[in-house]
Amino acid sequence: MDGGEAQPLTTLATEANQPVWSPDGAHIAFVSAVWPEFSDRPFPESDRLNRERMAEREQSPVKARVFTQLLYRHWDSWVEGKRQHLFVVPVRDGAAVGDPRDVTPGDRDAVPTSSTFSAGDDFAFSPDGQELAYTATPVPTREEAWSTDHDLYVVSLATGERRQLTANPAADGFPRYSPDGRYLAYRAQERAGFEADRWQIWLLDRATGERRSLTAGFDASVEAFVWAPDSRALYFEAEEQGTRPLWRVELAGGVVKRVVVGGANGGVQITPDGRSLVLTRASLSRPAEVLVTELGTGNLRALSRVNDAIVREWCVTAPESVWYGGAGGTPIQMWVVKPPGFEAGKRYPLVYLVHGGPQGPGWTVGPIAGIRSSGRRKVMWWPCPTPAAARDLASSLSTRSAATGAASATRT
């Protein structure tokens, strides 16, 4: 790319995020949170009405809010009755050549509103650019706070017709078309209402409608994945003992294989020739950098070193993995980070890190700056249950707290 000043393609009152190019470069799909009652109107009118609604609320002296259903807030943002819709805008020579079009109008979100059900951009263009597959949130909307029933849909960009692809009562999401267009791969859970259930990769034959799990015997939750260019395999992220390796699974079946180990790997992309993976990697002693690995060799090469100067100033010890028996003899992995200059036999303050859960294990995703910045040397440790143990514990707690579903009102 030649670079230069960025030029706006859209000026929506409700802003745009998560842009995704169509394979032919003729369109960009993106997400915008809009008021559903305006969403089926022509774009100039709907955008004007959204802008007026926003101005009215901003200028109103009344700041009290009335809620009639969940979910009403995500982290530090009010939902305000808006829905996250998918828009498509035509592009030519670096400029928009028409108005954006809301292709998912109505009172329903077209992407998950909770990161619990998301693995990135939860929509994708078909290889021919004629349709979008996307992840719709549970209906009826009044029950979405305690339902996990996300389903996959496709929408024709020519006609606007929408068609449901999955009817699994548990969660489905993250659709990705195979390069040859024959299959649609996606993530799915099996247990309805249980948001900590294991995510598997499912494969849908677009011609026959047949579907099957590619990772039924894999004891970890699949995160984001990419297709191999020959449409014969997928590469995906999944946690293992406090790290996040990259894995390969073939459509023909067989054992899931590790292809990149060590650290927390993510953002994986594959080169057009299928020979190399480009990825990010972080660890407890180093922020994320961009790396490339040639498949089959195991060799990793850094493409970025933007954090070298920072890391040279740090004095962070490598984390140590320890296993111990938990309740009922459940094996629990523990990570221990000792302070610089640690001396055996001396007494040190202990920091016990509790991170979320117990829906999933912790992992070595980023530097522990707090050990140095606190001004005191400390030993830091946190438990990391196996995937099966984490699911079992989350299941028991979910069962005991089933009567408090309203607690999910601000689930993110």
CATH of the domain at 121: 2.120.10.30
Q: Are residues 261 and 276 in the same domain?
A: yes
Q: Is 408 left (phi over 0), alpha (psi -120 to 50) or beta?
A: alpha
402 φ, ψ to 5°? Answer: -60, -30
Q: What is the pLDDT of residue 242?
A: 82
Query: Of the candidates 275, 309, 343, which is a domain's last residue?
Result: 309
Query: Of the candidates 276, 309, 342, which is a domain's last residue?
Result: 309
Q: Are residues 282 and 327 in the same domain?
A: no
> Please, which contacts does 235-239 make with residues 24 or more away whose CB atoms are closer than 8 Å?
235/259, 235/268, 235/270, 235/277, 236/201, 236/268, 237/265, 237/266, 237/268, 239/360, 239/361, 239/363, 239/387
Q: What is the pLDDT of residue 406?
A: 40
157 inside domain: yes
Q: Are residues 226 and 351 in the same domain?
A: no
Q: Are residues 227 and 355 in the same domain?
A: no
44 prior amide bond cis, ω within 30: no
- What is the longest distance spanned by two Cα atoms in the chain? 73
Q: Are residues 219 and 333 in the same domain?
A: no
Distance (Å) of CA 372 to CA 177, 316, 338: 46, 8, 11
Q: Are residues 361 and 297 in the same domain?
A: no
Q: Are residues 302 and 353 in the same domain?
A: no
Q: Are residues 123 and 272 in the same domain?
A: yes
Question: Rounded to whole angstroms, how far apart are CA atoms 101 and 34?
Answer: 12
Q: What is the pLDDT of residue 407?
A: 40
Q: What is the pLDDT of residue 341?
A: 82
Residue 125: burial class (beta carbons within 10 Å; 0-12, 13-18, 19+): buried
272 inside domain: yes
* Tens of pLDDT, residue by residue, the chain (412 residues): 566 788 899 999 999 999 999 999 999 999 999 999 999 999 999 999 999 999 999 999 998 988 888 888 887 888 899 999 999 999 998 889 999 999 999 999 999 988 889 999 999 999 999 999 999 999 998 888 899 999 999 999 999 999 999 999 999 999 999 999 999 999 999 999 998 899 999 999 999 999 999 999 999 999 999 999 999 999 999 998 888 999 999 999 878 999 999 889 999 999 999 999 999 999 888 889 999 999 988 889 999 999 999 888 877 778 888 888 888 888 888 888 888 888 899 988 888 776 655 555 555 555 444 333 333 444 555 455 556 655 665 666 565 544 444 444 444 4
Q: What is the pLDDT of residue 369?
A: 41
Residue 343: burial class (beta carbons within 10 Å; 0-12, 13-18, 19+): exposed
Q: What is the pLDDT of residue 377?
A: 47
Total of domains in the chain:
2
Which DSSP letter does residue 145 get? Answer: T
Question: Rounded to whole angstroms, how far apart are CA atoms 173 and 111?
Answer: 9
266 inside domain: yes
Four-point Cα dihedral 98, 99, 101, 106, nearest 10: -160
Read off the tokens for 234: 């997928």
Q: Are residues 388 and 266 in the same domain?
A: no
410 inside domain: no
7 inside domain: no
375 inside domain: yes
Which DSSP letter does residue 156 get? Answer: E
Q: Which residues contact 59 (CB under 8 A, 6 or more apart)?
A: none
Question: Rounded to whole angstroms, how far apart are CA atoms 210 and 327?
Answer: 42
Query: Of the candidates 294, 309, 324, which is a domain's last residue?
Result: 309
The structure tokens 């004007």 sit at 48
Q: Are residues 161 and 99 in the same domain?
A: yes
Residues present in the chain in total: 412
Domain that holds residue 203: 17-309
Q: What is the pLDDT of residue 317?
A: 79
Q: Are residues 75 and 211 in the same domain?
A: yes
Q: What is the pLDDT of residue 373?
A: 35
Q: Are residues 185 and 203 in the same domain?
A: yes
Read off the tokens for 201: 């990769």
Question: Rounded to whole angstroms, how far apart are CA atoms 266 and 53?
Answer: 39
Q: What is the pLDDT of residue 259?
A: 95
Q: What is the pLDDT of residue 399?
A: 58
8 inside domain: no
Q: What sign has the CA pseudo-torsion 70, 76, 77, 78? A: positive
221 inside domain: yes
Q: What is the pLDDT of residue 94?
A: 85
Contact indicator for 267, 119 with CB cutoff of 8 Å: no
Q: What is the pLDDT of residue 371?
A: 37
53 φ, ψ to 5°? Answer: -65, -40
Which DSSP letter does residue 339 get? Answer: P
